[in-house]
């Protein structure tokens, strides 16, 4: 039994064009100490999936399926019960460290908040624990930094603060939504290394969401590729990077220029644009941008089929038959 | 800039159904139109016909409760209240029209000038406007009344001066933002003068600001005229006025409280109508702004 | 920051000076002979002469202006022509009514509008929100003096719980004074509440969409705890700014409300002075009000500069 297993998750969002499906039947599992990378273009539903796990979907959203964390279905929990899960058993790091901290509170107080909430730590005990956490995430001079305001810190430092906050209650699952996208390239590596190290030490599960294949490849054991609210390919990172089964995955990887490789001619691009979720075609969502698409692709959507050891893809044209 | 460009295209797409169609579907805007239309209709009708004379004194019929003959009853001189309210709409509209036109024409011109010239011209205008802000409408009206004696002109002047300053500020701010846009830079690069750019590029783009402000200011003017007339520094007898009707009604508040209700309702519905139109126009002209609010 | 303060202070001084000049011009120079303004054009020549001598109105205008300002610096506002007492004394007495009225209205409006605004924001796009917004739309359209009259009809005429007006002073006991000021305070608070409710609601809604509020929820804070700990403090900054600017509106609003409830405050004083043509009183009271408006605007500007981090960073 996996630590976290998500089964056939559907999310519909309320928009001014009515209810729009943003996540359409996503399933995956994360073991304790396991790492899953979720990759896809912006708007593919990966962040919405994360927010669904946290129970923080925007107002008016409808969600169904099953999110099983250690035997409990999170979707069946009340809002009060969910408050005990958030920050305690599942914690999340966001993309924008610059805006994700409250500008009017000192960072010590912000990190202490989940400690007080979930572990009942107060006063000096909480402060000691915050100092330990700040030290753990590699923030220099924690004794001084603990009383700083967010605007006195750099983006990388703030992201370390966010990580300290997420770690504070030793969660089972850490959700990291594009944790390095907003940072300088030099800092990105440090933050990723820190996250990797913490996951190895603590044995928590990590779900890393990114559009950056390099980040995913370096950090995770398993990868899921999302397109148009569905998962199109999923498997162990090594196997998947070696053998890309789904045309979308192939396009996604071909579009990334690699250092040291010779390039003749233009970079590969995927034709067309990411569809609006409200305008998704029936059947395979990728059909109208896919070079291999044929009549069958406009019919019922393809199911996941095994293409390697624990490696699955959802495409009518697997195995190279065009 | 990229983001703004995309936003503008989507906005145009959203505007496709046409202003009139969207206006018809904007419920509070339509309610505002009906309320304001009723007020204007009542004022126009009162020029030709009222149920009774709004000024004729009939002592035998004083302080009558509402009846079939006098729908809203009569006041302490036996005048028909419905007729007085219809005629009072004239005063409100005239005061509002003059005061708002002063602001929308003179104030907007000053604001455009300040935005075009910047530098010390703008400084002087802004300091004058600061000075003006020190005198809320009611203080200006008090000064004018103390110096020259009471009269409706005081109310009109006080509101006009206030509006000139208000419009000048608003138009200046909107104008300055417009001057920084690319198409204005392009016009400058093409060698066009300040006046030409103001008329061709700045003014057409901020007309909506002026229209919305004018609607809101009209509502404010009606409220202010009523308050000034209530205090005796606005319209004078025998001119019909909602504010003065209220001040007279207070003398009989224990015997005939109902008299105090009608003129107040007339003010509320007129002001509400104009405010709804103003809010609605803002939504309809700039849908992006509406979503943010 | 200090450069900003200095600049703003100079503007402030110039504005007050300009205001005094305008008041003087409008009252004593432009209308013609102030003696005739006070007594009427058909007053007998002897009376006009007497008042000119008594008030020094025969001196040139610029001398009288300098005299007035010099007097103000020594805390002198001259004698009321009608009451024959120093104007400072008159204003001092009347402020005992006007100040509690203005402060009471600010307090009531702040409490009510914060509660309503937060309630509306937390019930965004639900019935409660629409109700509050409708109330605020209506509050903006109701003339405050008419609202006062309606309150009189309800509480004084029909229910007979509270007096319809008048004020017998604080000497008869605080409770009696408070009773007399209750309806005026609520009347004065109405339009204020309407505006501040709107500002509070939109400010809370805006801050609630901030990333750091999502962070707070992700830590496990309930919706309510996130609101109290992370939204409100940030959301109140614009509300307080608007509230500060509205102080000027309240102060001039008391002029109207005191006349609705025949309260012997500064507002009543000035309208009595207008009918009595008591120029000394009008001149000084109008300057006092203009000065209050200018001072409040100045203070709000400075406070705003203090809470705006972009300005704070530069110091």
The answer to whether A117 touches A85, Cβ cutoff 8 Å, is: no
Instruction: Report chain C residues whose CB lies below 8 A from the CB of B146.
Output: 27, 37, 273-274, 277, 279, 282
Q: Looking at the partner chain, which of C218, C220, C234 has a beta carbon nearest the beta carbon of A104?
A: C234
Q: Which residues pair with A9 in a beta bridge?
A: A26
Provide the pLDDT for residue B17. 62
Residue A92 forms contact with C (CB below 8 Å): yes
Task: Name which of A124-128, A296-300, C210-214 the model is least confident about.
Answer: A296-300
Domain range spanning residue B234?
Answer: 91-293
Residue B34 forms contact with C (CB below 8 Å): no
Instruction: Report chain A residues whose CB lies below 8 A from the CB of C233.
Output: 104
pLDDT digits (tens, 9 = 90+) for C9-43: 888 888 889 999 999 988 888 777 777 777 776 77
What is the mean pLDDT of the segment spanning A270-294? 76
pLDDT digits (tens, 9 = 90+) for C261-285: 999 999 889 988 888 888 888 889 9
- pLDDT of C204 strictly over 60: yes
Tally of domains in chain B: 1
Residue A56 forms contact with C (CB below 8 Å): yes
What is the mean pLDDT of the segment spanning A191-208? 90
Instruction: Report chain A residues whose CB lies below 8 A from the CB of C124.
Output: 59
Provide the pLDDT for residue B275. 92
Higher pLDDT, C171 or B168: B168
pLDDT digits (tens, 9 = 90+) for B133-185: 888 888 888 888 888 888 888 889 999 999 999 999 889 989 998 888 888 88
If you count them, how many residues does chain C have?
Answer: 315
Element (H, E) at A6: strand A4-15
Enumerate the CATH 3.40.50.300 domain ranges in chain A, comma separated: 4-89+172-313
In a domain, B49, yes or no: no
In a domain, B72, yes or no: no
What is the mean pLDDT of the segment spanning A181-205? 87
Instruction: Report chain A residues whose CB lies below 8 A from the CB of C222.
Output: 79-80, 83
CATH of the domain at B143: 1.10.3720.10
Smallest CA–CA separation between C63 and chain B, in Å?
19
Question: What are the start-end ranges of the E strands in chain C?
Answer: none
What is the mean pLDDT of the segment spanning B203-224? 90
Are residues C309 and A103, on separate chains, in Cβ contact within 8 Å? yes
Which domains are assigned to chain C? 2-73 (no CATH), 89-314 (1.10.3720.10)
Instruction: Report chain C residues whose CB lies below 8 A from the CB of B232.
Output: 271, 275
Provide the pLDDT for residue A205. 92
What is the mean pLDDT of the segment spanning B99-120? 91
* Mean pLDDT for chain B overall: 83
Residue A94 forms contact with C (CB below 8 Å): yes
Provide the pLDDT for residue C314. 39
Residue of B nearest to C23 (CA): B143
Question: What are the start-end ranges of the E strands in A130-198?
Answer: 173-177
Residue of C nearest to A110 (CA): C216
Residue of B nearest to C146 (CA): B264
Are residues A86 and C212, on separate chains, in Cβ contact within 8 Å? no
Smallest CA–CA separation between A19 and chain C, in Å?
17
Q: Is the CATH number of domain A4-89+172-313 3.40.50.300?
A: yes
Are residues A99 and C218, on separate chains, in Cβ contact within 8 Å? no
Interface test with C, best of B35, B92, B139 (most C CBs within 10 A): B139
Q: What's the ipTM?
A: 0.85
Are residues A104 and C211, on separate chains, in Cβ contact within 8 Å? no
Residue C132 pLDDT level (bands cut at 50, 70, 90): very high
Residue B28 pLDDT level (bands cut at 50, 70, 90): confident
Task: Tell the burial category of C206 from Cβ atoms under 10 Å away from its Cβ (0-12, 13-18, 19+).
Answer: middle
How far is the C-alpha of A134 from the C-alpha of A129, rounded, in Å?
9
Which two three-digit tokens encode residue A291? 């070079």
What is the mean pLDDT of the segment spanning B227-242? 87
Long-range contacts of C69-75 (CB under 8 A, 24+ apart): C69/C20, C72/C287
CA distances from C100 to B129, C155, C231 (A): 31, 21, 32
Residue of B nearest to C33 (CA): B147
Task: Name which of A234-243, A288-297, B243-252 the model is least confident about.
Answer: A288-297
The answer to whether C111 touches C105, Cβ cutoff 8 Å, is: no
In a domain, B160, yes or no: yes
213-272 in chain C: CB under 8 A from chain B: 248-249, 252, 255-256, 259-260, 270-271
What is the mean pLDDT of the segment spanning B21-42? 88
Q: Looking at the partner chain, which of C212, C223, C229 has a beta carbon nearest the beta carbon of A100?
A: C212
In a domain, B143, yes or no: yes
Residue B292 pLDDT level (bands cut at 50, 70, 90): very low
Provide the pLDDT for residue B12. 42
Nearest to B198 by CA among B268, B89, B81, B115: B115
């Amino acid at each position: 039994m996996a630590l976290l297993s998500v089964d056939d998750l559907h999310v519909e969002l309320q928009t001014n064009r009515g209810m729009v499906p943003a996540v359409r039947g996503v399933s995956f599992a994360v073991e304790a100490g396991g790492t899953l990378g979720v990759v896809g273009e912006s708007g593919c539903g990966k962040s919405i999936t994360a927010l669904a796990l946290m129970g923080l979907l925007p107002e008016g959203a409808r969600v169904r399926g099953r999110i099983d964390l250690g035997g409990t279905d999170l979707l069946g929990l009340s809002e009060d019960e969910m408050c005990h899960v958030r920050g305690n058993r599942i914690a999340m790091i966001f993309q924008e460290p610059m805006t994700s901290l409250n500008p009017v509170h000192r960072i010590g107080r912000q990190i202490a908040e989940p400690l007080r909430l979930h572990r009942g730590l107060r006063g000096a005990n909480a402060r000691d624990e915050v100092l330990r956490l700040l030290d753990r995430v590699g923030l220099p001079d924690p004794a001084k930094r603990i009383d700083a305001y967010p605007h006195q810190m750099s983006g990388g430092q703030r992201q370390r603060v966010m990580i300290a906050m997420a770690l504070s209650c030793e969660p089972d699952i850490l959700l990291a939504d594009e944790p390095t996208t907003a940072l300088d390239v030099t800092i990105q590596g440090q933050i990723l290394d820190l996250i990797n190290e913490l996951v190895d030490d603590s044995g928590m599960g990590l779900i890393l969401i990114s559009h950056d294949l390099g980040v995913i490849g370096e950090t995770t054991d398993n990868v899921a590729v999302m397109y148009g609210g569905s998962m199109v390919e999923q498997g162990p990172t090594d196997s998947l990077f070696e053998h890309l089964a789904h045309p979308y995955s192939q396009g996604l990887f071909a579009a990334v220029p690699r250092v040291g490789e010779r390039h003749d001619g233009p970079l590969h691009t995927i034709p067309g644009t990411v569809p609006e979720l409200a305008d998704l075609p029936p059947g395979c969502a990728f059909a109208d941008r896919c070079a291999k698409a044929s009549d069958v692709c406009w019919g019922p959507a393809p199911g996941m089929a095994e293409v390697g050891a624990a490696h699955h893809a959802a495409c009518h044209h697997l195995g190279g038959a065009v | 800039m990229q983001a703004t460009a995309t936003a503008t295209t989507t906005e145009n797409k959203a505007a496709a159904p046409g202003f009139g169609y969207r206006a018809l579907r904007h419920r509070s805007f339509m309610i505002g139109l009906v309320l304001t239309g009723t007020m204007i209709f009542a004022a126009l009708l009162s020029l030709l016909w009222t149920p009774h004379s709004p000024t004729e004194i009939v002592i035998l019929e004083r302080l009558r409760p509402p009846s079939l003959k006098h729908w809203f009853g009569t006041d302490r001189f036996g005048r028909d209240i419905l007729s007085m309210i219809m005629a009072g709409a004239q005063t409100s509209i005239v005061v509002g029209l003059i005061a708002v036109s002063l602001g929308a024409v003179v104030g907007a011109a000053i604001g455009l000038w300040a935005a075009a010239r910047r530098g010390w011209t703008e400084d002087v205008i802004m300091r004058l406007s600061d000075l003006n802000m020190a005198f809320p409408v009611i203080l200006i009206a008090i000064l004018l009344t103390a110096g020259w004696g009471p009269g409706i002109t005081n109310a009109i002047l006080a509101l006009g001066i206030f509006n000139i300053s208000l419009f000048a500020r608003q138009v200046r701010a909107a104008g300055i933002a417009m001057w920084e846009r690319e198409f204005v830079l392009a016009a400058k690069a093409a060698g066009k003068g300040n006046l030409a750019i103001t008329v061709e590029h700045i003014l057409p783009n901020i007309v909506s600001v002026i229209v919305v402000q004018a609607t809101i200011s009209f509502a404010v003017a009606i409220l202010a005229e009523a308050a000034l007339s209530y205090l005796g520094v606005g319209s004078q007898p025998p001119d019909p006025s909602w504010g003065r009707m209220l001040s007279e009604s207070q003398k009989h508040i224990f015997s005939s409280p109902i008299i105090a209700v009608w003129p107040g309702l007339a003010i509320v519905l007129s002001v509400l109508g104009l405010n709804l139109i103003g809010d609605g126009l803002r939504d309809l002209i700039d849908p992006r702004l509406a979503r943010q609010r | 920051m200090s450069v900003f303060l200095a600049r703003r202070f100079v503007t402030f001084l110039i504005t007050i000076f300009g205001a005094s000049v305008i008041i003087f011009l409008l009252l004593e120079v432009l209308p013609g002979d102030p003696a005739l303004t006070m007594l009427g054009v058909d007053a007998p020549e002897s009376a006009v002469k007497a008042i000119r001598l008594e008030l020094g109105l025969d001196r040139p205008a610029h001398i009288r202006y300098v005299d007035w300002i010099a007097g103000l610096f020594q805390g002198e506002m001259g004698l009321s022509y009608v009451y024959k007492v120093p104007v400072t004394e008159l204003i001092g007495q009347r402020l005992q009514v006007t100040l509690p009225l203005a402060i009471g209205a600010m307090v009531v409006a702040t409490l009510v509008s914060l509660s309503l605004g937060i309630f509306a924001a937390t019930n965004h796009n639900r019935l409660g929100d629409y109700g509050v917004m409708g109330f605020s739309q209506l509050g903006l359209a109701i003339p405050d003096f008419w609202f006062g009259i309606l309150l009189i009809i309800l509480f004084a005429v029909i229910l007979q719980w509270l007096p319809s007006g008048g004020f017998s002073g604080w000497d008869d006991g605080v409770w009696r004074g408070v009773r007399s000021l209750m309806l005026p305070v609520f009347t004065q608070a109405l339009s204020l509440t309407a505006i501040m409710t709107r500002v509070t609601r939109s400010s809370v809604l805006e801050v609630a969409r901030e990333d750091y509020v999502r962070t707070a929820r992700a830590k496990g804070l309930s919706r309510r705890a996130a609101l109290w700990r992370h939204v409100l403090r940030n959301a109140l900054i614009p509300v307080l700014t608007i509230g500060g600017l509205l102080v000027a509106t309240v102060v001039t609003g008391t002029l109207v409300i005191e006349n609705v409830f025949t309260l012997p405050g500064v507002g009543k004083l000035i309208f009595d002075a207008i009918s009595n043509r008591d120029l000394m009183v009008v001149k000084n009271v109008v300057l006092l009000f203009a000065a209050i408006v200018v001072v409040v605007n100045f203070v709000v500007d400075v406070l705003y500069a203090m809470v705006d981090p972009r300005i704070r960073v530069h110091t």
